[in-house]
Chain A
């Protein structure tokens, strides 16, 4: 047997060559591990791939189980979409930034909203003080959307909106703005994040408790399945789970567990799995540990294909596809020596490409200080263009397949992720697990463990715990959001409220409360009517709050 021969030779090498060398010159560390603390061996050989079956485990791109990518030609056919998340200040400023990004070669838009918008609050809500236009663009009413998309043809661009509790409202605004441009709902394309489960697990942008939150997601999924066929209804997100401190395996497991819940939700709503599942997409983090990230993405595709085909019996291959967006890891960037962040982002972006991402956001070097300047954003986008056109990694599909290490680590991450998923299933699924605080506590444990490893210098971060420059001057300019934004936004909201038909808004809000109280009603049509009548996001979300109640932070630490 070939394996026995290899085993014999390996044992011989390990004992006679490797161990002797280590005895003479000890290795730099006693234990080598990924950034997520998975132990890594000195060498991988065919012995690590016992039972490896090429057709079953790896196969061909565009074919089940999609380990090598969802498309048969991958980047030889079409490059990934370079989609920089942007938005700040007023709708006018954001419109200007989008036109700039489109002019320098960006291929899709991605809207960052400010905190009040993310939480479904109006700019004149007391909680919005100091936050208006800070982390993204402020949106109160349809009027703001009309400005954001002024001069941008909505049948030509696709737009990703990072929005969760009020996703139903922003989607309605997008549809209504496109309508004004003469573009019907069947012609628009884009994504709403619309993933509340990861909010409860990690990002913590919530309003209502988990169950009514899921109902709103259901309503958007059902509506889009019937009326907005090119819309990606949920972007099932591991990014925030990872950024909150999860390991790569936790990111993988919790994200897929969320995905399983959203598929169950669609089926329970009476939809055919193949009618809605192809419009679910995913969103992952790409962190600093190069191979761990690539293996995570390969494992994720293979696991999702199995879940959809075997567990849910989906028949359309598109339902088996895990399409995903990737963002480089914000939490890996350092405030110290910020130019180094360009290098970090380039490595992370390269991993995402080797992992087979469908779209990519590269972070800017200055984001540990503030929102990025135009110069920093340009470098970040150029990083993707250099990988795409100069590095050569796009010439062949899944070039790392067959590496003993890459295949072994892909398998190991998959196994460890199934362990988590099975544990969550035993709890009754991700919703009961969240209600018990299980994923939340696992993440905070991992975050704390990592920080301790950094403190103990078991993990080195250049410029932070090693290679520190004392008395460093910050060599970059920082973007400042003009405080004028707040005044402009408040004035516009006031003007909209004074000009619209307030009696109509009031009566529609009453209808919304009634509809919200009936679990079977789909709220999307009435939210669309409200948006068209220039009801504000705070009014719409507030009316539902009257019915759904609010969720408060259990505050685990």
Chain B
């Protein structure tokens, strides 16, 4: 029986938004919880994020965005993943996102949006529940 590999998560900061406190704190909490975490650093284009996700063969992408560009960022990211046939990667996110925008983002394929004030425990538990190592196609 093949050994189940660790869940691998890419934490990413798309575009020009430099607010990285949340991304870093969440990345660290996920790492401490035993997941393998890759942090892209700031100022990544969506293409770069998808490329890193493929290269690192991650199971999930966590996007942090506080600039107001979420309605562009998430649907475009989902579209790029679909094009690459990688839409089984779980995408979740957080940041400054008005409630009214959340249904649209979920419709676009985002699995969960975490708002300010969410506890790290809640995020870790959600990842445990919702992200499984992707099946490797041989």
Contacts and interface: CB of A to CB of B under 8 A. Distances in A.
Interface of A: 115-116, 118-119, 121, 126-131, 134-135, 203-205, 243-245, 331, 334-336, 368-371, 444, 447-448, 451-452, 454-455, 461, 463-465, 474, 478, 480-481, 552-557
Contact of A557 (B39, B71, B119): B39
Given A334-B116, A478-B100, A555-B40, A447 B16 contact: no
B41 A554 contact: yes
Given A130-B15, A135-B67, A557 B28 contact: yes
Interface residues of B, number: 35
Contacts of B72: 129-131
B25 A116 contact: no
A130 B119 CA distance: 28
Given A118-B16, A334-B116, A336-B117, A369 B68 contact: no
The 6 residue pairs across chains A and B that have the minimum distance between CB atoms: A130-B72, A555-B41, A553-B41, A204-B18, A134-B68, A130-B69
19 contacts: A127-B16, A130-B15, A130-B72, A131-B68, A134-B69, A135-B67, A204-B42, A244-B20, A244-B21, A331-B21, A335-B115, A335-B116, A370-B68, A370-B96, A444-B24, A448-B29, A553-B42, A554-B41, A556-B24
B114 to A, nearest CB: 10
A369 B96 contact: yes
A191 B1 CA distance: 66
A451 B121 CA distance: 11
Given A130-B72, A474-B99, A555-B41, A334 B117 contact: yes
Nearest to B65: A130
B116 A368 contact: yes
B43 to A, nearest CB: 7
Given A243-B21, A553-B42, A116 B120 contact: no
Contacts of A368: 96, 116
Given A115-B15, A204-B42, A555-B41, A464 B117 contact: yes
A370 B95 CA distance: 10
B117 A557 contact: no
Nearest to A486: B72
Interface of B: 15-18, 20-21, 23-25, 27-29, 39-43, 45, 67-69, 71-73, 76, 96, 98-100, 115-117, 119-121
A557 B27 contact: yes
A129 B14 CA distance: 11
Contacts of A130: 15, 69, 71-73, 76
A131 B43 contact: no
Contact of B117 (A119, A243, A447, A461): A461
Contacts of B121: 455
A131 B116 contact: no
Given A134-B69, A553-B43, A557-B27, 15 more contacts: A130-B69, A131-B17, A131-B68, A131-B69, A131-B72, A205-B18, A336-B117, A448-B28, A463-B117, A480-B98, A554-B41, A555-B40, A555-B42, A556-B24, A557-B28
Contacts of A444: 21, 24-25, 28
Nearest to B13: A553
B30 to A, nearest CB: 10
Contacts of B28: 444, 448, 557
A224 B18 CA distance: 29
